[in-house]
Every structure is written in C-alpha cells, then in structure tokens.
C-alpha cells in the first residue's frame, strides 16, 4: 500500500470515527466514499465493519443507561437474521449500481427532513415494523457495514428523542456489525489486505470517536437531528459522486 493510499485510509477512519462518536453510527457512510478511492469494495466493507465496532465500543458508556432492552431487541433479533444474507450477496453486487441507489436515497430523505417544518411522530406498524427495519439493517450490515442507515431514518419517523434514538441505533449497530464481522471472517473476507488497512485505520477511528463523543454531549435534540441528516445528505452525495 502506497503513501497516498495510507493517508486516504487514515483520513477516512478519522472522519468516520468522529461521526460515529458524535451520532452512534456512520463510520461506513462517512468513510466508504473516501476509502473506495484507495482500496477495493470488499476490503473497504470489512474495514468499515471493524472500525465501526471499535468506535462504538469506545462510546458505549454514553448510551448504557438509556437502553430499553425490549425496544432494542425488536430491531436486533431480526437484524441478526439479515446479516448472513447480506454477506452472501456481497461478492455478487454491482458496486456502481448499489452506490447510486443508496446515495440517491441518502440525498432525498435528509433533504426532506431538513426543509420540513414539523417533526413527524408515527407509531405505525409497532414492533413488527421495527423488526422489518431491523432485518433490512442487518442485510445492509452484512453487505457493506451500513447497518445504521435504515434504523436512523426509522427512528426519525418515530420522532424519538436524542437519547432514545442513539441507544437504539448504536446498540443495534454494535450487535449487527459484531455478527457481520464474524460472518466476514467465516467467509474468508478478512484477508491480509484487510488486516493491513485495519492497522492503519484504528488509531484514527479511536481518536475520532472520542472527539465525536465530546461534541455529542453538547448537542440538544434538534441539533442532534440536524447533524445526522446533514451527515446522511453529505454521504449520499459522496456515494453518487464516486459513481461518476
């Protein structure tokens, strides 16, 4: 790996760590658009999962007392079932089509949230709908490490507070991505190239997570929501840009 690749991998890890510490998710959607300039999609996917788990472990103390176990498990249990499916289809996915489709979604929804005048609060579907969202998040987790995207959008639809949203999203991410990491290892995806990328990325991920956590403690509910939506919007634009 050349110097330019090393710098790109470290920069992506630092940015992803800051975002993860700030929001409880986001390593993959922040870093993938950067990493894909330097490393192959399969390496970037495994790297995103590894860095996400490490970053979320660093900030677990921020959410522990806010976890509502019954609510969280409605997402986690179906999500666990979705991880193997995502891992199975990973080698067969066209990266360009995937990035374009996901990027478009990550532009449209956050743009809508940022311009709307009132917070929506929908209880539609109850635990069943939460479970379907969790399953979809598990599939994305196994596929690319993007397990947090669907739960983040769904908790916004639910209209939950900053603490409740982060507790659900972060614990869900930790559970799903830990399983996804095991699935990647069992599938032979944790190659020597992945190991080298992890050694370069981890210092940035850990340092970034602590900086992001420092900022998180100073945000109100509305500020937290806007930060998340701006993050999703920027990530969507970056994914679309890399398809050009």
159: left (phi over 0), alpha (psi -120 to 50) or beta: left
From 41, 53, 70, select the one nearest 17 (Cα to Cα).
Answer: 53
pLDDT-derived band of residue 10, with 50, 70 and 90 as boundaries?
Answer: very high
The answer to whether 137 touches 148, Cβ cutoff 8 Å, is: yes
pLDDT digits (tens, 9 = 90+) for 150-172: 898 898 888 888 888 888 988 99
**Confidence bin at 145 (pLDDT 50/70/90):** low
Q: Which of 99, 117, 120 is nearest to 238 (CA)?
A: 99
User: Taking all residues of the chain, what is their mean pLDDT, rounded to a whole number?
Assistant: 86
- What is the full DSSP assignment across 172-199? HHHHHHHHHHHHHHHTT---HHHHHHHH
- The whole-angstrom separation of Cα 11 and Cα 89 is 28
pLDDT of residue 29: 77
Instruction: Give the model's pLDDT for residue 131.
Output: 93
Backbone angles phi, psi at 157, to 5 degrees: -60, -40
Do 47 and 180 touch, CB atoms closer than 8 A? no
């Amino acid at each position: 790996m050349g110097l330019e690749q090393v710098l790109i991998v470290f920069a992506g890890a630092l940015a992803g760590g800051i975002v993860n510490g700030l929001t409880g998710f986001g390593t993959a959607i922040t870093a993938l658009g950067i990493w894909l300039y330097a490393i192959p999609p399969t390496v970037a996917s495994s790297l995103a999962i590894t860095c996400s788990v490490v970053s979320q472990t660093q900030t677990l103390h921020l959410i522990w007392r806010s976890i509502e176990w019954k609510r969280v498990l409605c997402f986690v249990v179906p999500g666990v079932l979705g991880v193997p499916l995502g891992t199975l289809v990973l080698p067969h996915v066209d990266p360009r089509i995937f990035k374009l489709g996901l990027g478009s979604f990550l532009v449209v929804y956050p743009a809508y949230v940022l311009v709307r005048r009132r917070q929506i609060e929908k209880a539609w579907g109850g635990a069943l709908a939460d479970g379907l969202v969790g399953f979809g998040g598990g599939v994305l987790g196994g596929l690319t490490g993007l397990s947090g995207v669907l739960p983040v959008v769904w908790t916004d639809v639910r209209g939950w507070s900053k603490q409740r949203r982060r507790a659900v999203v972060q614990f869900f991410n930790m559970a799903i991505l830990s399983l996804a990491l095991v699935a990647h290892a069992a599938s032979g995806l944790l190659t020597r190239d992945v190991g080298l990328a992890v050694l370069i990325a981890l210092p940035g991920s850990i340092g970034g997570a602590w900086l992001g956590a420092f900022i998180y403690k100073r945000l109100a509910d509305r500020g937290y929501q806007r930060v998340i939506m701006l993050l999703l919007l920027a990530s969507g634009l970056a994914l679309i840009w890399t398809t050009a």
